[in-house]
Amino acid sequence: MSRYLITGGAGFIGCNLAAALIGKGHEVVIFDNLSRKGTDMNVRWLRTRGRFTLIRGDLRNFNDVQNAVRRAGRVDTVAHLAAQVAVTTSVSNPREDFDINALGTFNLLEAVRLSGGDPVILFSSTNKVYGGMEDIAVVERGGRYQYRDYPQGISEDRLLDFHSPYGCSKGAADQYVRDYSRIYGLRTVVFRQSCIYGYRQFGVEDQGWVAWFIIASVLGRPVTVYGDGKQVRDLLFIDDLVNAFLAAERKIGKTAGRVYNIGGGAGNQMSLLELIAFLELRLGRKLEYTFADWRPGDQPVFVCDVSKAAREFGWKPRTSVKQGAQKLFDWVVENKKLFQKIF
């Protein structure tokens, strides 16, 4: 049995990771400020899964973070998942975005370093650290965009290029996590994640688009398509991301200090308009949606090459896009009353 500290453990990714660990008999400590919609419901749901410790605090406050690390005790692994996750929010409030993503990550790294412990540190970074990638040729085929020259997607060798406050704050955090491994010997692993979707995701218009489109369609709400809807992302179901965390942790002798692109990969792509068509078919009616301007730093295509993760710790996605979208759709339908309370 191992002991885990999960920052943002009441959020979408965090609560799914926590539930998996609790189910395996591990000890789990969650650090969260419970500020996002649905986190209180996720905590109540986690209580039905088993025992865990909840420490309420703010990642921006070093005393809160240091106190959480002390209270958690000698943990085997820290999963740093707490973040400000919306590009649009980062544009409207860049200071808050920086304080949470960059300063908050620095606070956690320092608290762990000063604790004297030696836990594995798993960090959720983002594909936004690669910027708009305007130099990469994109073509339109079949009503969607795709790379002309990268059939397997973008590898970790791609140069960093931050194109939004969110990209800057997460990029700074990404590099600090890497450097604390180089300079201080912390056993860190960075996941530059694509679009993650799945159960317990209370997506909103400016973040978590797959979940939000599904939620809005079930509730009969209109959605906004930023851009022309032909942009493509590789999608990764939450169960596969949880498995990636655990696989990278098991192979920490190989993965420590390393960076991995983690997403659905070339085999699990979908455009915004394709998801709308999928939902219209399931619902038997047209969805109400409008178009708006592209968001800053929004790539027409992002598909990551996940072959490095496959080579180095034996991971690859198991859930297809259609399987995952159907699972999330069914879960939202089953929990429609829950979403009506939130939205």
Are 9 and 15 within 8 A, CB to CB? yes
Give the span between the Cα atoms of 238 and 196, in whole angstroms.
6
The number of CA neighbours under 13 Å toward the Cβ of 313 is 24
The number of CA neighbours under 13 Å toward the Cβ of 139 is 7
Token output for 83: 């973040």
The number of CA neighbours under 13 Å toward the Cβ of 292 is 12
Catalytic residue status for 166: yes
Give the span between the Cα atoms of 247 and 245, in whole angstroms.
6
Closest CA to 261 of 310, 295, 319: 310
For residue 106, the Cα-to-chain-centroid distance in whole angstroms is: 19
Amino acid letter, 166: Y
Are 228 and 295 within 8 A, CB to CB? no
Are 120 and 253 within 8 A, CB to CB? no
Question: Between the CA of residue 310 and those of 24, 150, 248, 269, what are the distances in Å?
Answer: 24, 18, 10, 18
Give the span between the Cα atoms of 154 and 306, in whole angstroms.
9
For residue 64, the Cα-to-chain-centroid distance in whole angstroms is: 23
Q: Which is the catalytic residue, given 4, 130, 166, 199?
A: 166
Give the span between the Cα atoms of 209 and 228, in whole angstroms.
14
**Please, is 259 exposed, middle or buried when counting C-beta atoms within 10 Å of its C-beta (0-12, 13-18, 19+)?**
buried
Give me the active site residues, please.
166
